[in-house]
Structures are given as structure tokens and as C-alpha cells.
Amino acid sequence: MARVGLGSGFGGWGRCRSESGDDANDGTGAKGTSTVPVQTNYRRIEVAIERLWSSTRSDLSATGDMAMKAPMASVSSQSGGQPVQKPRIILAASGSVAAIKFGVLADSLSDWAEVRAVATKSALHFIDRQSLSPSVKLFVDEDEWASWGKIGDDVLHIELRKWADAMVIAPLSANTLAKVAGGLCDNLLTCIVRAWDYSKPVFIAPAMNTFMWENSFTRRHLESVKDLGFVIISPIPKKLACGDYGNGAMAEPSVIDSTLRLSMHNRESRAKPMVLDSL
């Protein structure tokens, strides 16, 4: 029976392969190919592809609540009898009052991912360390130097970058946005970003006063980080901590969580070749 590899996406089927490993007939009758006719199985392949597309469309059109239910890798789950590694996410916070929600977001992400947390000195004014799950280790600027004593020792911001599959900065203050956009690296968070492997995603959830958000500097800084491939989870309008009403509040933790969950799920799905058996 023919075995059809779909590669990493749905855009093209390529050539079919038989179980013996020979190229299956592509309809041209080219010499040297197997005589298994693709057309005879066309309808069954079409049905299988439609099922896959239906599943993908459902994921892509899901709202926040539905996206939060998207299946993710779990250490305890099995795929072909082998444990599947959870996604590894760095959750970072900078100095915004929205960092009071840091523990809630860390808990949500921990439900489906391994999480390591990073906080700037300003962010620590708003983060209750005691509220963080024991499974979430929090790193601060002092840890950068405490872990290094001599040449050859591990460098924390490099090790965290190597460990992670993705990074999310929530909240991202106007100050840290400006630093990142300008390439500054004067603390643990900005050093991780400067050393980042941009084949892996970075998500940012800005949080600042409305006038800061609408400032022309902010627009320029956002364009700079978008050029790096950052995914911007836009702020929302509401009554801000300063008493003003306007756009600039960090997106809700549930929205940030569902955005990451769906993105990582789709990324994982694209990375895995899919094989249709018994067509």
C-alpha cells in the first residue's frame, strides 16, 4: 500500500513513495519509477487531507478560550512510545505595574510548558515572589554574576537562551522596549534578547501609559522589534493604574497564554512530517 509523506506542510505533496522506498508513479509513466498509480488512491488521499485541513482551520479560527484548549506536548504524553518534551519558555517582566499579574501568567504557562522566569529590578517592585509556583525558577540580575566565577563557567543569559524554545516579555515597559529596540544589553533580560536565536519566537506584551503608547518613539521602537520578528500582543484600552482611561494596559494573562499556546502548537505541527497510512 502506498505511503504518502506530506513533509512539513500542506502546500505540496511532492512525490509519493511506496513501502519499498521506490518513487511511486507520478502519472507520467516515467521510466524507472514504480507503477503504483497515484490516481487510484486520489479520493482517499483527498478525504484524509480534508480532515487535516479541518483540524487546522479549527485551530486557526479558535478564540481565546478555544485556543487555550489546543493540545500541547507534555512530558507524560507519549508519541510512538517516547516521552514528548514540553515547550520551554522564558517568561520575562520589566518595570510596569502590570507585573502584578506575573504570577498568574506564570501559572497558566506552567500548565503546558516548562517555564523559567526573568525579572528586572524595577519589575521586582510589583512581583510577589512567594506567589510563584515552586516549578518556576525566577532569575534576576544578581544571578548573572553569581553563576560566573572564571572563564569557562556558564554565562547565565547564554544558557537561558540555549535552553528556551520561546520567550515572552510580559509586561514590556516603554523603557525596556526602547532598550531592546536600540540593542542595549545592561541587565539579564536585555542580554538574553541581544543574544537571542531569532529562529525561535519572541512575544512581547507592552504595558504603559496611553501617552507613552501613542508616542512617536514607541512607534519607531515597535517597528524595530517587528523587523527582528517579534510577535506583538497589543495592549488594550481600560482604566489604567494612574487613573487615566485609554489604550496601554497589558493584554490579559489568558490572552497571552492562549496566543503562545496556539503559536507553539502550530509551530510544533509544522515541524513534524505527517504520514498517511493505509490509504
Domain parsing of the chain, residue ranges:
4-61, 78-266
The predicted pLDDT at position 233 comes to 98
- Contact assessment for residue 143 and residue 156, using Cβ atoms and an 8 Å cutoff: yes
Given the residues 16, 185, 221, 242, the one annotated as active site = 242
Active site residue 242: yes
Banded pLDDT at 64 (limits 50, 70, 90) = very low
- Contact assessment for residue 127 and residue 99, using Cβ atoms and an 8 Å cutoff: yes
Q: pLDDT per residue over 7-29, tens digit each?
A: 333 333 333 333 333 333 344 34
**Those residues with Cβ within 8 angstroms of residue 253's Cβ, 6 or more apart along the chain or in another chain:** 101, 104, 105, 108, 170
Nearest to 68 by CA among 279, 262, 273, 198: 262
**Those residues with Cβ within 8 angstroms of residue 52's Cβ, 6 or more apart along the chain or in another chain:** 10, 274
Single-letter residue type at 149: G
Active site residue 191: no
Given the residues 157, 191, 221, 265, the one annotated as active site = 157
Whether domain 78-266 has CATH 3.30.70.520: the reply is no
Measured from the Cβ of residue 143, the count of other Cβ atoms closer than 10 Å reads 16
The predicted pLDDT at position 85 comes to 86
Q: pLDDT per residue over 254-272, tens digit each?
A: 999 999 999 999 987 776 6
What is the pTM (predicted TM-score) of this model?
A: 0.69
Q: How far apart are CA 32 and CA 24, in angstroms?
A: 10
Average pLDDT over every residue of 223-239: 97
Q: How far apart are CA 270 and CA 272, in angstroms?
A: 6
